[in-house]
Structure 1
């Protein structure tokens, strides 16, 4: 007798796909359910990501739940309507299928009619994945080509900066960019102040004291002022394609020859003022940067006790009565250094004292078992305490889902009875579907969080082992490894109102434990760049955050 095959159905549709191509989650599910019924397969579960793009794993909570259930052997096969429902990028698709295969779970596509239990099926998957990625990249290239052509003709793409807004015409192509005078005043002030010799921080500080904000309503920072000074849109030009593939490469994707042409929009600053500012920007960029002596271990990890921003390296230089130069190094509030005294204050702490206090705190936890016991008790109580609120929130979300589903059923009844205008019903159904997608995504996220909180309680031995290994590495590693390790493991360091170390929050996960806190070469025979540690330790199987 053949064993009944348990199948997991996965479906996904992005908001754009549903709007542009009419893709439907319900149609995907209906097709796959009928397939399972026809071939005598048992549906073990349905996993649906609604309104989520397939270009990455981010935000796809149902896919993450599916992979966890695959590890728990809850099904034998995963089936999708089309392979690109699982992933848009070939490398992501192959990674997901590899994870499934490691758990003896097959992957099958209904439309392409292949499965990964055969060599030809795996080959077909790779080829179809490559073709799918080519199709997606071709669409992206065509969109980019259209944007480039629009930029070359002097038209702006995307959002407009401070000082402008888009005035909508009857047709989209009739829209134009106009000046918002109350914002343009701020832009001109920035240019005039910089041309008068004021620095970026001084301008940001002055703007924040005046109550001015950026386009998004936030206080001005050095970066915000710099971006305005470097944007040729304010002098009536259109600049486009400075960076390629921003989502993946960020500023590393800078192009050699961006598009720069005269625009159709009005200028906010004069050519003379723009040229003067650019000359000053060029001169200042060639000046040597300030360099701090010393090695700062905790940059970005210590949090300002006043505003909570990350604290960065700073120093003061004083001279004694006999003329000797004395350099003192600190950690100071990053928002104060970037946005000035209207936003926060320096709240500086001595570098050496802060770093010593952090390493002492970790060492004391190892030397005093009571500290670790209290940490373990706190972690387990916190996890237990989180379960009830999450369950309550999940119940509320489920109630909203039930109400929305009931409303959909009522509108369908009206549709069948022809008692209401069909266009109005269609519009209302679209609104309900959008609301439902939001609630279903929230439910998936809550279910994942609950799954993590209901794992095995954290043990004293595990926590002591992790903190002990961290302490051993900090004692024996050179500065680059110590800084890397701290930035991998330390989530945040908080100060009390007297600017002393209040707590050190450590976050451990499987990757950091495997690569940095597990068995490694001994200190006597260590390869360059390795983290010295001897002995074998218990494996971490879950994310763990503790505060000491």
Structure 2
């Protein structure tokens, strides 16, 4: 039995005892028992029964967000932020499954709330941290059950999908070259010739992905072949995926990929081949299995596929014309003895690489990667050696300016929040709109206050100073990978077609 905290048995208002009511639904297909209205109604009943006044302002809602990915749940992050600020005293959940479906996340949320003096209540399980004390077994047990539920559902869904595949039904997105009829794939005769031509160019003519992409766009403009479904122009990556897709040979591979949680987020990875379920002759084939195996044989792939050279400037170089990243291309020629290639690495716009000058971007003048690297390293080392960098002053001034901008934004929001009351009293807006807007302003103000707090920390500034100084030291060792050092010192470099560079640093001189 839950005992009311209020000794005088009076009803506690939201202002006297601020709390949060957390509501989450994963999809629009959730059953009625997990609907937002149902969750709110259950939480409201518990609150009123236990001597608390209900407030709509308490509801924090994550819509369409899976309970297995904590980082994507904005409302939950806001609750944890309020807990750290000690702005709430209690959080109510309909059940632990609404709190999280990952055991580690459940325990992390619980520890964060309790560590900041926030009472945690999950109604269905009858868990109340105020009365459980140090007994965590109950919470951990129910959290484990909640974590197992999506895994059980995943197994059930996987079994259902396997049954559909065995019946010859298609699961997933309908690939280019096919249409869906009675849940099964059939050849789309207007698109299939394009697929056959791609494999013919690749297997018979020996063309690579870039050449095939160019030819596809030319034939598309001439009206001889189909254009892609989602874009106006063919992309090299699309051609590559078509070549690698066994669907075109009439095969369906089930359980090829799975999702794992890395760093708080889900990532798709490929399963080992022994876990794949391969269904031969699952649907009509556009090309023969022999043609697909030839295109994906190691002998052919090794001839066509060039290993992408290591790029220490990845993510730092931008094309001045289209804004795309500059990437490394590699070319070469055989020596007269035929034993070894002379290879050159040079920078090109990634949009030009994908679509050429007609369908992508302009062709930049060749810039050899090694020459570019040597030039930029020398330039950075000269700046680090010959210029007295006032790290502390520059960073302090930078932070002061950022804080000043944030404080100005905060003041503006506070003024808008005050004027909102006058607008409401003048009956220019209704109560619901007033509360929604006021909450919006309040949340924005709290976010700005967080940023100001972080910028004000002297420790962070010292770490940044040491990081920049360390980056300059690392540049002296030319042989090691310098990506981290370069990313610390350089914000980005704009590369013009004539080879001119605009270097934007992360520090002030």
* Structure 1 length-normalised TM: 0.69
Q: Is the 8 A contact 1:152 1:259 kept in 2?
A: no
Partner of 1:148: 162
1:505-543 per-residue CA deviation (whole Å, 9 max, x = no partner) reads: x5xxxxxxxxxxxxxxxxxxxxxxxxxxxxxxxxxxxxx
The 1:385–1:280 alpha-carbon spacing in structure 2 relative to 1, beyond 3 Å, is: farther
Q: Distance in 2 between matches of 1:392 and 1:215?
A: 50
Shift of 1:59: 3.6
Q: Distance in 2 between matches of 1:443 and 1:208?
A: 52
Q: Distance in 1 between matches of 2:392 and 2:80?
A: 38
Q: Is the 8 A contact 2:199 2:295 kept in 1?
A: no
1:14 aligns with 2:22: no
1:310 alignment partner, one of 322, 325, 339: 325
Shift of 1:301: 2.5
Partner of 2:374: 352
Q: What's the secondary structure of 1:31's corresponding residue?
A: helix
1:26 alignment partner, one of 34, 37, 62: 37
Shift of 1:73: 0.4
1:284 aligns with 2:296: no
Partner of 1:343: 360
The 1:22–1:126 alpha-carbon spacing in structure 2 relative to 1, beyond 3 Å, is: closer
Shift of 1:236: 2.5
1:268 aligns with 2:280: no
The 1:362–1:203 alpha-carbon spacing in structure 2 relative to 1, beyond 3 Å, is: farther
Q: Is the 8 A contact 1:148 1:241 kept in 2?
A: no
Partner of 1:184: 192
The 1:104–1:314 alpha-carbon spacing in structure 2 relative to 1, beyond 3 Å, is: same
Please show how residues 288-437 of structure 1 align to structure 2 within 5 Å: 290=306, 296-315=311-330, 329-341=345-357, 342-347=359-364, 349=367, 350-357=372-379, 366-367=389-390, 375-376=398-399, 379-380=402-403, 383=406
User: Which segment drifts farther, 109-118 or 377-386?
Assistant: 377-386
Shift of 1:35: 1.7
* Structure 2 length-normalised TM: 0.74
Shift of 1:303: 2.0
2:241 alignment partner, one of 227, 230, 240: 227
User: Which segment drifts farther, 348-357 or 183-192?
Assistant: 348-357
Q: What is the root-mean-square deviation of aligned Cα atoms in Å?
A: 4.4
For structure 2, list consecutive stretches of 5 or more residues without a partner in the other structure. 1-5, 335-340
1:459-489 per-residue CA deviation (whole Å, 9 max, x = no partner) reads: 69788645532221113346667424555x5
The 1:218–1:53 alpha-carbon spacing in structure 2 relative to 1, beyond 3 Å, is: farther
Partner of 1:201: 210
Q: Is the 8 A contact 2:252 2:279 kept in 1?
A: yes
Q: Is the 8 A contact 1:314 1:331 kept in 2?
A: yes
1:54 alignment partner, one of 67, 84, 88: 67
Q: Distance in 2 between matches of 1:492 and 1:9?
A: 42
1:472 alignment partner, one of 465, 469, 474: 469
Partner of 2:338: none
Q: Is the 8 A contact 2:93 2:123 kept in 1?
A: yes
Q: Distance in 2 between matches of 1:179 and 1:292?
A: 35
Q: Is the 8 A contact 1:154 1:238 kept in 2?
A: no
The 1:149–1:495 alpha-carbon spacing in structure 2 relative to 1, beyond 3 Å, is: same
1:68 aligns with 2:45: no
Partner of 2:337: none
Partner of 1:97: 110
Q: Distance in 1 between matches of 2:201 and 2:304?
A: 22
Q: What's the secondary structure of 2:151's corresponding residue?
A: helix
